[in-house]
Amino acid sequence: MDAALAARSLLEDHPYGWSLPQPFYVDDDFFALDMEHVFAPNWVFVGHTCEVPMPGDWLRVDLGVDSVVVVRGTDGEVRAFFNTCRHRGSLICLEAAGHARRLTCPYHRWTYNLDGSFAGARYLGDDFDGSDFGLQPVHCQAVAGYVFICLADEPPDLEPFAEGVAPFLAPHGMDELKVAYSERLVENCNWKLVMENNRECYHCVGAHPELMVVIDEFDGPGSKVTPSEVEAKARTVAAWDAADIVHTQTTAGGNEWRAVRIPFVNDAAAMTIDGSPACARVLGTIDDSMRSLGSVRLLHLPNTWNHVQSDHVLSFSVLPISAGETLLITRWLVHRDAVEGIDYDLEHLTRVWKATNRQDATLAEQNQRGIRTRGYRPGPYAPAIEAGTADFTAWYAEQLRRRLPR
């Protein structure tokens, strides 16, 4: 409660466009506020439906101290439950992913159906009523194959997001994907520094030589780079308009979510080390002759950004561990019929963002370390190039202002 009062007081004076006061990045009690008032009440991206294609397939997701299992039921529905047995609380699913006819606790073999209901256990006696002992449900909803969970009792409405992004994703065959590769990277920094870092490309020059092959540092619909680059982007956008490819940034999601299609520079086809295609098999209804689709930037706060491209999809899931530790899961998805070694090469597919993730982790960890000193003062985001970061911070502050107890 003390942390809540301190947070509320600090946010009252916090101006738009400035980084946050120190405790928001380093304090354990403030971290608990983030989990309670920012992560729990919102939809959090945790994986893809194609990772649980069959009934009984499950994914385990750890979020702070919580552990959740996402599982496809016999009816084909994807549901989520707390990964803790109703008997004595043991974890049920121990690996990152698996398959089971029923979910069985490894401790005393209490068993649950795939819809979370209690299925049976030995020695419970005749008057035991299993209907009181189903797994604790967690809200779960899929949009274009993205699985979101919400830990709160009353989740917000995810429909506007689903409707808003649908036209952007339509050409990309989001129901025909598979995960070609995934990476789990623990960064020793607060989750907000991972997000702040991603929301601007002010740091890209120098930091991201691989990434700068395909994007420019303004990386927005209105580029401020060289005239020839502006011209090239304009040509690409004109071609999209001619082909009815949706690209104009959504506004309905405010700072919380957005979709926008942005051209790559240098006529790049995909986020590879030379801009060449990442996969021979294009996605969905995309014509192989029209590779220059840039990427759909799909943002959903608090925890995901994405690059949906002509031949692969890159998704990022930011999962806080503690005030100073964050897990970033990156997934590279390709067409489900694409064949490794023939249609795509893993090294070529993953090289740019494997490198970029490591570079960003180093920057964010140095940021965290510097914020811990008593010399730290909140500073101004550069308006011309860090507006995305300013918007993220504004959204975050609004979440706390709205929910912190008075």
Contact between 90 and its own copies per CB under 8 A: yes
Nearer of residues 192 and 300 to its own copies, judged by Cβ: 192
Among 211, 245, 271, 385, binds its own copies (CB under 8 A): 385
Structure tokens at 181: 């590769």
How many residues are present in the chain? 406
Nearer of residues 2 and 244 to its own copies, judged by Cβ: 2
- Which helix (H) or strand (E) is 78 found in, with range? strand 78-82
Structure tokens at 50: 């194609």
Structure tokens at 116: 């979370």
- Residue pair 255/388 in contact by the 8 Å Cβ criterion: no
Pattern of binders to its own copies over 264-303, x per CB under 8 A?
----------------------------------------
Among 251, 285, 289, 373, binds its own copies (CB under 8 A): 373
In terms of phi and psi (left: phi > 0; alpha: psi -120 to 50; beta: otherwise), the region of 309 is beta
Contact between 108 and its own copies per CB under 8 A: yes
Q: What 3-state DSSP class applies to 91?
A: strand
Contact between 115 and its own copies per CB under 8 A: no
Q: Which residues contact 399 (CB under 8 A, 6 or more apart)?
A: 37, 38, 41, 42, 302
Contact between 189 and its own copies per CB under 8 A: no
Contact between 109 and its own copies per CB under 8 A: yes
Contact between 151 and its own copies per CB under 8 A: yes
Residue with tokens 């599982």: 71
Distance CA 260, CA 157 (A): 21
Contact between 91 and its own copies per CB under 8 A: yes
Task: State which amino acid sits at residue 208.
Answer: H
Cis peptide before 21 (omega within 30 of 0): no
Nearer of residues 295 and 359 to its own copies, judged by Cβ: 359
Contact between 131 and its own copies per CB under 8 A: no
Contact between 92 and its own copies per CB under 8 A: yes
Contact between 84 and its own copies per CB under 8 A: yes
Contact between 142 and its own copies per CB under 8 A: no
Enumerate binding residues for its own copies (CB under 8 A).
19, 65-68, 81-92, 94, 106-109, 121-125, 128, 133, 135-136, 138, 151, 196, 202-203, 205-207, 363, 366-367, 369-385
